[in-house]
Each structure stands twice: as structure tokens, then as C-alpha cells.
């Protein structure tokens, strides 16, 4: 176990998650539900099965030997997370990458980090390494918990910076950076998305027996979490597929998967510069959607690697993941000029938020290392 290596893996996962929406900016003429579902096939179905098949031993055998209750709860919480992931894309559309991720992930971090150990305190059979009592009852646990608190503070500061920016920027500037900006819609969607997205942490907890079975089958420790991702993401795929298919029927956009010619009702309004007939660049759109979906999957590829290095304080992995996502998504927000026109106060707040989040990852890493050092008698 190497907690600092675990922190590094979580940072890599945060980079993947904070960057996944960028390739979608290269998609042209497709409706949201079309490119979201195409990317989803790669992130929820193709990538999980390919990576788990290549890097773990006896994937199908490991899944077959699981009790139905384990598979059900892993799948169920994955499906519930799917509702959060579904609305996460809408959060980006309405609030942008900086503010959207700050608010949604604030809820996600709080619920996803603290609920599993609290639940174990209530019911000992829940497959989590430590209960809340175990964590509070040790110095290392308190240090790690302090790191979680610092992370939540950083997320709050980042969200406050986004709110400050929203209040200061003229409406025209907001629309330049985020075409569909709507603070009211965005906050409602981000709240729902953040709470439901925390179910991913519950799904990973429910799937711990799958990881143990994979380890027993001879899989290298780093990759033991990949088989449970197959089940979790199948649940996420279910809810996203149903919703996107519904939108395809409702909006009549199903043809866009196969035909490049865009129907008039889905085309942009004709102008002197825009031809009346539009065509979607199919190869380009499939490429960027596939790239976005695969990039998204890589966040949990690295997450499960990092989780294997966190020992009994694995609950803190979720906090590290959320902090890392906000750090890198804010970086992209700067690159795409989402903060252009903001005051020094807003820039100062976001810089302070990012610094606080970076500090939290160091504190959590130290707390987890301290636990492992004490266990080894150092």
C-alpha cells in the first residue's frame, strides 16, 4: 500500500474526468442525446469490458461466482448514479465547467465520502473497511477526516467563486463563454446531479466482493477494481440509454446516428453565411464522441487503482477524486475563457479554492500513510 501513489492515481483520474467534456466541443450538428449516447457506449460498455478483459484474470468466472445480492446492489446504485451522470452533462451546459463541476461535485463529495462509513456504523455487514467510529477513534483517521473537511471547504470556495463570477459578468459575456448559461436551471440540475452521482461511491462499495474475487483469481492488485466497474457502468448505461432513446423518439433525432443530412427542424436558423441545408460530419462526430467517452471511463480506471493504495481509509478516495476533478475542470474553464471579465475577487476566490483542494489531497495522503505506518509499527 502506497497512499501517495494512490493520490497520484486519483489525480490522473481527476485529469481524465475534468477533461472528458472537452472532446464533445468538437462534435458538430448532432443533438445532445445523440452524442451523449454514442460517447456513453464507449464509457459504459466498450471500455470497461475491454480493459477488464485485458488486465484481469477470468472476468466472466469472477462475475458468475458472485451472489445475486452483490450484483444487484452494484448494478442498482450504478443505475442511480446514471441519473446523476445524465444530468451532469446538463450542468455543464447551463453553468460551464468551472461553476458546474464545483457545485455538483460539492454535493457528490460530501455524500459519497461520508455515507459509506456512516452506513457501516449502523450495519456492520456493509463491505467498507472502516466505520465512522473507527475513523474518529484514531489519530490517522482524524487527520484523514480533516483532509476531507479541507476538501469540502475548497469546494465551497470554488463554488463561491463561480457565484461571484455569475453576479459580476454581464449577460452577454456569460453567453459568449457558455451559450446556454442559466444560473437557476444550472443550480437545480447540479444539486440533483451531485446527490445522485454520489451513488457511484455506494456502487463501488457494494461491489467490493467482486474486487476480492478478482484478487483471489490472481489479478494484480492494481487492476482488481476493474471487474466491478463492468457491473456499475452497466447500471449507468441502462438509465442513460433509456433517457436518450426517449429523447430520440420525442425529438425525432434517431436518424442522426446513421444519416449526415440534418433535417430542417434540427438545423441552425439559415443566414446569409449559413447554407439552408446542413450536414453533420459523421466520422468527426463519432471520433470525438468516442474520445470523450473513453476519456470519461479512464477516470474510474485510475480511481480503482488509487483505491487499492488507500487501505482502511479507502472512503477518502471519493474526496480525492472530487478534488482532483474540480482542479482540472477549473483549469479547462480558464483555457476556455469562462472566467474572462471576472473581477480580481472572483479570480482570487477560485485560486484560493484550488489551493485548498490541493492541500486537502496532501492531508488525506498523509493521514492514510500515517495509518499504514502505524499498522506496520514504524
Q: Is the pLDDT of residue 247 over 60?
A: yes
Q: Which band of pLDDT confidence, cut at 50, 70 and 90, is reported for residue 210? A: very high
CB distance 215 to 308 below 8 Å: no
For the record, the C-alpha cell of 122 comes out as 449502523
Residue spans per domain, the chain: 3-370
Q: Percentage of the chain with pLDDT > 70?
A: 77
Cell 463541476, residue located: 101
CB distance 155 to 105 below 8 Å: yes
Cell 452533462, residue located: 89
Angle in degrees, 0-180, between the axes of helices 139-168 and 316-335, rounded to the nearest 10:
30
Q: In this predicted model, what pLDDT tens digit does every residue of 312-339 receive, in sequence order?
A: 656 667 777 777 877 787 777 777 776 7
Distance CA 59, CA 61 (A): 5
Distance CA 157, CA 101 (A): 13
How high does pLDDT run on average in the chain?
81
Q: In this predicted model, what pLDDT tens digit does every residue of 124-148 receive, in sequence order?
A: 555 555 555 666 767 777 877 787 7
Angle in degrees, 0-180, between the axes of helices 282-307 and 316-335, rounded to the nearest 10:
140
pLDDT at 313: 59
Strand partners, 261: 279
pLDDT at 25: 87
State the virtual CA torsion across 244, 246, 250, 255 in degrees, nearest 10: 60
Q: In this predicted model, what pLDDT tens digit does every residue of 32-88 receive, in sequence order?
A: 899 999 999 999 999 999 999 999 999 999 999 999 999 999 999 999 988 887 787
pLDDT at 88: 75
Strand partners, 278: 262
CB distance 293 to 24 below 8 Å: no
Distance CA 259, CA 234 (A): 28
CB distance 338 to 96 below 8 Å: yes
Q: In this predicted model, what pLDDT tens digit does every residue of 158-205 receive, in sequence order?
A: 778 877 876 776 666 655 556 666 777 777 888 788 778 778 878 888
pLDDT at 179: 61
Q: Is the pLDDT of residue 362 over 80?
A: no
CB distance 217 to 13 below 8 Å: no
pLDDT at 238: 96
Distance CA 28, CA 31 (A): 9
Eight-class DSSP state of 261: E
CA 163 to chain centre: 22
10 Å CB burial of residue 281 (0-12, 13-18, 19+) is middle
For the record, the C-alpha cell of 194 comes out as 451531485
Q: Which band of pLDDT confidence, cut at 50, 70 and 90, is reported for residue 21? A: confident
Nearest alpha-carbon partner for 154 in 16, 292, 14: 14
Q: Which band of pLDDT confidence, cut at 50, 70 and 90, is reported for residue 150? A: confident
The reply to whether the predicted model has a pTM over 0.85 is: no
10 Å CB burial of residue 171 (0-12, 13-18, 19+) is exposed
pLDDT at 265: 87
Amino acid at each position: 500500500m502506497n497512499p501517495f501513489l494512490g493520490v497520484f492515481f486519483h489525480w490522473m483520474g481527476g485529469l481524465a474526468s475534468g477533461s472528458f467534456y472537452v472532446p464533445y466541443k468538437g462534435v458538430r450538428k448532432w443533438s445532445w442525446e445523440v452524442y451523449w449516447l454514442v460517447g456513453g457506449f464507449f464509457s459504459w460498455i466498450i471500455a470497461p469490458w475491454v480493459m477488464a478483459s485485458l488486465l484481469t484474470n477470468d472476468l466472466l468466472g469472477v462475475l458468475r461466482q458472485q451472489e445475486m445480492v452483490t450484483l444487484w446492489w452494484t448494478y442498482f446504485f450504478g443505475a442511480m448514479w446514471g441519473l446523476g451522470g445524465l444530468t451532469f452533462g446538463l450542468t455543464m451546459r447551463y453553468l460551464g465547467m468551472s461553476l458546474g463541476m464545483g457545485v455538483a461535485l460539492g454535493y457528490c463529495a460530501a455524500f459519497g465520502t461520508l455515507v459509506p462509513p456512516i452506513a457501516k456504523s449502523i450495519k456492520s455487514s456493509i463491505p467498507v473497511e472502516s466505520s465512522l467510529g473507527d475513523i474518529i477513534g484514531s489519530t490517522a483517521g482524524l487527520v484523514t477526516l480533516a483532509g476531507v473537511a479541507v476538501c469540502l471547504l475548497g469546494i465551497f470556495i470554488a463554488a463561491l467563486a463561480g457565484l461571484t463570477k455569475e453576479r459580476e459578468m454581464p449577460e452577454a459575456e456569460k453567453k459568449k463563454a457558455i451559450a446556454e448559461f442559466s444560473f437557476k436551471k444550472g443550480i437545480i440540475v447540479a444539486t440533483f446531479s451531485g446527490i445522485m452521482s454520489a451513488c457511484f461511491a455506494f456502487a463501488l462499495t457494494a461491489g467490493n466482493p467482486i474486487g476480492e474475487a478478482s484478487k483471489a483469481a490472481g489479478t494484480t492488485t492494481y487492476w482488481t477494481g476493474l471487474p466491478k466497474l463492468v457491473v456499475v457502468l452497466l447500471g449507468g448505461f441502462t438509465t442513460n440509454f433509456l433517457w436518450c432513446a426517449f429523447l430520440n423518439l420525442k425529438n425525432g433525432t434517431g436518424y442522426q446516428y446513421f444519416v449526415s443530412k440534418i433535417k430542417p427542424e434540427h438545423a441552425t436558423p439559415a443566414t446569409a453565411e449559413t447554407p439552408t441545408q446542413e450536414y453533420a460530419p459523421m466520422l468527426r462526430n463519432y471520433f470525438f464522441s468516442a474520445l470523450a467517452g473513453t476519456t470519461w471511463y479512464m477516470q474510474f480506471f485510475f480511481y480503482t487503482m488509487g483505491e487499492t493504495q488507500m487501505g482502511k481509509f479507502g472512503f477518502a478516495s471519493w474526496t480525492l477524486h472530487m478534488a482532483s476533478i474540480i482542479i482540472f475542470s477549473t483549469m479547462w474553464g480558464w483555457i476556455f475563457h469562462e472566467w474572462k471579465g471576472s473581477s480580481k475577487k472572483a479570480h482570487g476566490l477560485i485560486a484560493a479554492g484550488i489551493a485548498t483542494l490541493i492541500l486537502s489531497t496532501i492531508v488525506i495522503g498523509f493521514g492514510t500513510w500515517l495509518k499504514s505506518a502505524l499498522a506496520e509499527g514504524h
